[in-house]
Chains A and B, each alone.
Chain A
Amino acid sequence: MKSTIRVAAAAILLTTTAAMADTAGPAPKPDAHGPNISGFFSPFPFQGGEAIYKGVCQGCHMADAKGAVGAGMYPALAKNENLETAAYPVGIVLKGQKAMPFFALQLNDQQIADVVNYVRTHFGNKYKDKVKPEDVKALR
């Protein structure tokens, strides 16, 4: 996955910068068009585990973290024993799993640590050990 992300990002640069590399005037500013949350891999603005959960995770895992079932299902994060080893959810948030997209480009180390800590201490989960940003960085 590491190389996948890197190559993908490089490919975007290659295919889309050509046209604007030599334009006159100042280079476009990173956020020239405001917060722009329609971007595919643009970083999520939320800070703090609860805000990140409600802005990102809740879309699939639901407000009560109990998931949902249709033709397929979204797993419950509530009372989820797979969360016992913190590295497991960190890895899944970073790299994705099955239908779940990866968030390595959209959430930074602090954000991932925060949201994993939030989920591991809410929704009936009571894990005491905390994930630190360095732990996330090590798994990238």
Chain B
Amino acid sequence: MTDQPIAPSRRSLLSMIGGVAGSAAMYHAMTEMGYADESTFKGPVKLSPPPAGTSVLILGAGVAGMVAAMELRDAGYKVQVLEYNGRPGGRNWTLYGGDTYTELGGFTQKVGFDPGQYINPGPWRLPYHHQGILHYVNRLGVALEPFTQVNFNAYVHSTNAYGGKPQRYRQVQADFHGHVAELLAKTTKQGALDQSVSKQDREMLMVALQNWGALNGNYEYGKSIETSLRRGFDVDPGGGLNSMPVPSEPRAMSDVVQSGLWAAIGASCNYEMQSAIFQPKGGMGMIGKAFGAALGPLIQYNAKVIEIKQDEKGVTATYIDSRTGGEKRTASADWCVCTIPASILTQIPMNVAAPMKNAINQLSYSAALKVGLQFKRRFWEQDDHIYGGITYTNQPNGTISYPMWDYFSKGKGVVLGAYTFGQAAYLAAAKSPEDRIQDALEYGSKIHPQYRQEFDAGVAVAWHRVPWTLGCAGAWTEPARAVHYDNLCALDGRIVLAGEHASRIPAWQEGAVTSSIDAITRLHQRVMSA
């Protein structure tokens, strides 16, 4: 293939999407090419009782594995779970002050955060329409609090716009909408749309544009009380004497368009970014912990699976202690739900047929980086009046997200100082954790000058170095999906796979939940028809 014909456009597109809108939009664009498949969750699972003594071996105690374990146990199956880590949850994971994390290559980080401070290296958000994971959150009694995706007072930043000075989201959005509305109103008035818009619709459209863009009586967007009610004032109105507001000056249209900062607005409109969004109180890992507590001794921790073998009678997994190695042990059952990431599973001998094998072997795992930075005080709240939400930047750290708990606390706070995919995440994985943290500080200080003065402790997780996933999530492309997806999900003999990689909501916990429910439902049908 020659990539000359497509390269320039592709680069420009991706630089626009990824540079400013941030990694979430980029991730979406790349993994699914704009797909936003809805969750297929249809309410709690109801499985009829299986024949007495029917057993299922579940590999992996992440969200998919523990959903399977819980539902199959409740239906009456004999269930055993093998898990590589010494804790439940998998990528449902929170790093707290005092935790220790050792990545591949040997770097060990002791998280220097204060008690109660944390970051979620993996998933961190629960959109309202992810009813599958929310069902289990509620069933397990995990407390939720709001997650702020769009904060109108957070920043959008590009090193190539406005002299590298960060802009408030509300100003970017108001100016972009305002100028576009004015242009369209002008065009409509000049009769340029007469061919395509009826007279009645034109009249209504003019009213709508005035409303949407905060245009004045002449359909212009400019400095006024009305536009400042969108983009904010230079001096806010107040009470008593000397309380007159001072309106702010909108940015010129050319500057707004050329800045590229408008990309953040589109990204914020994505289905998965829409309110309401939740997070578990105390960290995403609370879900994994609650699952683990509910399953108790059914989970065998520190078990590294080294072979999976099936025959006409059942499935046997051979495993060793993930910490010490040692003697081989086996676990057997009639059936197997395997939720081990394809990146790991591709290296484990397993006798399944070529279609499933090929599907597993073709799925690479993407790079991702998260850096947590604890600061001595919550300057983003105290100085900048940013309470939660996200700042986007075209710098390699991509995203800065402010803690969405303990607002107005006088104590320390942990900012997500980098969240990025693709090339920046590759580069970060090749560096030491200390250098990843220093990079995040360097980029962040361009937006928040308080960074250096207030920095206290940091932790950096590069997902290609995570020993039990070798990456963030399965990096599907639509063409690969067309060939391999059904083969990955289909039952092979007595083995069925589940996890975010076996879903059309990749990298989201909802994908793991819906994949798991679908897998155990099909497995159950097979058991009942045998």
Residues in A lying within 8 Å of B, measured CB to CB = 2-13, 15-17, 19-20, 23-25, 27-34, 36-44, 54-60, 62-63, 68-74, 96, 98-102, 104-106, 140
A83 to B106 Cα, complex, angstroms: 26
A17 to B12 Cα, complex, angstroms: 10
- Which residue of B has the minimal Cβ distance to A27? B12
Contact A72 B430 (CB under 8 A): no
Distance (Å) between the CB of A15 and the closest chain B CB? Answer: 4
A-side contacts of B239, CB under 8 Å: none
A-side contacts of B394, CB under 8 Å: 33-34, 36, 38
10 A-B pairs in the complex with CB atoms less than 8 angstroms apart: A6-B6, A11-B478, A12-B29, A15-B29, A31-B12, A37-B427, A40-B29, A60-B104, A71-B470, A98-B361
Contact A70 B9 (CB under 8 A): no
- Which residue of A has the minimal Cβ distance to B261? A33
B-side contacts of A34, CB under 8 Å: 19, 158-160, 394
Contact A12 B19 (CB under 8 A): no
A11 to B482 Cα, complex, angstroms: 13
A-side contacts of B8, CB under 8 Å: 30
Contact A32 B12 (CB under 8 A): yes
Stretch at the interface among B39-47, B64-72, B417-425: B417-425
Stretch at the interface among B166-174, B289-297, B362-370, B378-386: B362-370
Contact B467 A17 (CB under 8 A): no
Option from A10, A33, A58, A99 in Cβ contact (under 8 Å) with B16: A33
- Which residue of B has the minimal Cβ distance to A9? B6
Contact B364 A101 (CB under 8 A): yes
B-side contacts of A99, CB under 8 Å: 342-344, 346-347, 363-365, 470-471
B-side contacts of A28, CB under 8 Å: 12, 16, 260
Supposing A9-B10, A36-B18, A40-B18 touch, asked if A70 and B23 sit within 8 A by C-beta, the answer is: no
A30 to B19 Cα, complex, angstroms: 11
Contact B364 A74 (CB under 8 A): no
Instruction: Tell yes or no: B13 within 8 A of A by CB.
Output: yes
A69 to B430 Cα, complex, angstroms: 16
Instruction: Tell yes or no: B464 within 8 A of A by CB.
Output: yes
What 16 new A-B contacts, CB under 8 Å, besides A28-B16, A68-B467?
A4-B480, A10-B6, A13-B6, A25-B254, A30-B15, A31-B12, A32-B258, A39-B423, A40-B421, A41-B14, A42-B15, A42-B423, A59-B462, A71-B468, A72-B343, A72-B470
Contact B422 A74 (CB under 8 A): no
A-side contacts of B427, CB under 8 Å: 37, 55-56, 59
Option from B29, B363, B396 in Cβ contact (under 8 Å) with A38: B396
A3 to B482 Cα, complex, angstroms: 13
Contact A2 B478 (CB under 8 A): no
Contact B6 A101 (CB under 8 A): no
A-side contacts of B361, CB under 8 Å: 98
Distance (Å) between the CB of A26 and the closest chain B CB? Answer: 9
Option from B33, B260, B266 in Cβ contact (under 8 Å) with A15: B33
Option from B34, B257, B367, B396 in Cβ contact (under 8 Å) with A16: B34
**In the complex, the 6 A-B pairs of residues with the closest C-beta atoms, listed nearest first:** A70-B467, A59-B429, A99-B343, A33-B19, A15-B34, A72-B344
Contact A98 B364 (CB under 8 A): yes
Instruction: Tell yes or no: B17 within 8 A of A by CB.
Output: yes
A140 to B3 Cα, complex, angstroms: 10
B-side contacts of A38, CB under 8 Å: 18-19, 23, 26, 394-396, 398, 420-424
Contact A59 B464 (CB under 8 A): yes
